[in-house]
Structure 1
Amino acid sequence: MAGSEYSALGFAELDDLSASAYGQAVRLGRFDRATIAEQLGLTTPDAERAEQVLRHLRLLQPMPGDPAVLVPVGPDVAAADLVGAAERQARELQQAVTEVRTKLLSLAPLYFEGRRERNRVEAFDLIRDAALVQSMIDERRQHCRDEVLIIQPGGPRPSEVLPAARESAQELLDRGVRMRTLYQHTARSDLPTRAYVRDVTAAGAEVRTADELIDRLFIYDREIAFLPERSSPDQPPGAAVVREPTLVSFLCQVFDYLWDGATPFEPETGKAPTTGDDVRHAILRLMAKGYKDEMVARRLGMSVRTCRRHIAEITEELEATSRFQAGYNVARSGILGDFPIALDTGRPVTPADPACR
């Protein structure tokens, strides 16, 4: 233990000079400052400091009947005298901690019985405090036993949240909890997200992507689900906490349906993302439904600028001079199957339509 650590605990540090002085005192049977200073070649201040250290460490104690004389005592006696009180306090504190924990844990059956009763009465809670929602999610994660289902729409994950997400995922996976996560295809082109997925899948997580997803969703042990609250843009979103078994089961079925139709996310170092065709197909499908650029970008989790770049490339490849003509060329080519819908009007389009000329 370093000297600073000794001092922090209220104990003096036994240095080499003080140890030598203690050895001489044992040989003499008492601590004679002048004699010890002469034998060890010490100055008077050094001998006085050694005496103070040894007294503080209880290695020198007054002789019974003659307090002016200091005699050395055994290290075991000094240790018992010096740290005995601290050890006793530590034992008492540990006992108090154990008693408090035992008393609180005795309430666990009452708590869980109350929770079961509450779940039967309340289908869900609407929590508007974002900090409280996060606290509840953290609590459910810590007590999760079997499985976590997650839907994270919106494209790439913000890089600043990935370290905490990686730590949380590792904690779950280390406990043997199965973890399945759905992202959108656009997340595959983001390097921080790919690195995160590579780490968690190596630890046992499963990750897939789809072109479109429903809103953010967390489900723990198929017992409780968290859905984002619809709040104003300038307020942090709260959450609807769903406990009713039928509703939670329905949300699990929705997740399983999306999962079955999604593509495994298997990032490999040195290989570029292979979802360009998937993203373009999704853009074409939404364009054919008549959605504007902003809506297409929002539904696919990408920026409007990136979306417009894709649309420009698609229009060029289809040899079209307008969105209308691109839509007609897509419908005529059969890329999207039997889906001849005009891009902006939402009405059937034919080769005679002036918009396609």
Structure 2
Amino acid sequence: MKKTDIKSLTLGELSVLLGELGQPVFRARQIYKWLHQKMVCSFDEMSDLSLNLREQLKELFYINAVSIQRKLVSKLDGTTKYLMKLSDGQLIEAVLMRYKYGNSVCISTQAGCRMGCKFCASTLRGRERNLLPSEMLDEIMAVARDTGERVSHAVLMGIGEPLDNYDNVVRFLELLSSPDGMNMSLRHVSLSTCGLVDRIYDLMELNLGLTLSISLHAPNDEIRSRIMPVNRKWKVDELLDACRRYFDKTGRRISFEYTLIDGVNDSERCARELASKLRGMNCHVNLIPVNNVRETAFRKSSQLSIRQFQEVLTKQKINATIRRELGADINAACGQLRYEQAES
């Protein structure tokens, strides 16, 4: 008999299944809290359940738990990068970032990625599979267990395209924010997408309160289509129109990620064109120096070019900041560690 992934079940679904076993209503909440608050990895740890019930649970369900394979800690700022293994041997990455407002974990949503962005290490081996809701949860739980510290914020910006794993990601967000679970406010969650416009509209209708972050990286179709294949399906103007509608529906300011690549998208002309495209939008632009990946020819823009790009945007009344490079000494951007491990 195929076992059920118990940590991917909502409290309501778990209640129904336990009811079929003749268990009282409160039992589901009890088990749910063991899984999502106490973050146990086995049924044997559920010490206030009878031995008979624990054996029943083992027969019907399994508990997904990722294992930490490698851990790199930045000597510069304490940022910690994790290489994690899933139950089938697939490798993913997560990054712990410490801020004054709390601990944030950047998680992966897929093992690999099929979006094909030319400057990104995550896509070099393509997409192996989607992550389950329980596996995304357990990235956060594994970090919390390892550090003994609470995680208050989550960023879906690791390996994979979250909206390419839409159903599992939406279920993950429901579980993450459950009052009987980790109870993380979705206002503390940021979801980054390369621009799957149809799914942006789907997400808009859910009005979850999270921050939508768009990996834009270019001000026009010519440049963006060259470095981001997704733009061949949804052009820049289509994407920006979806962003405007998202804000109108949710009231949540859009964040645009703009990775600066030397000689590709970092000119003053690009900055002026970007400012023109974004004028009048309630948005924020996050300027990011590209990570040097040896398998690509792209290189980081100079600090002078980055500052000049920012200056053009701010003069045009576009809110723009330069992202502080966390974990620069450990290559904390997702994808590189996984790729190196797979190639070794």
TM-score by length of 1: 0.24
- Higher relative CO (Cα under 8 Å, sequence separation at least 6) belongs to 2
TM-score by length of 2: 0.24
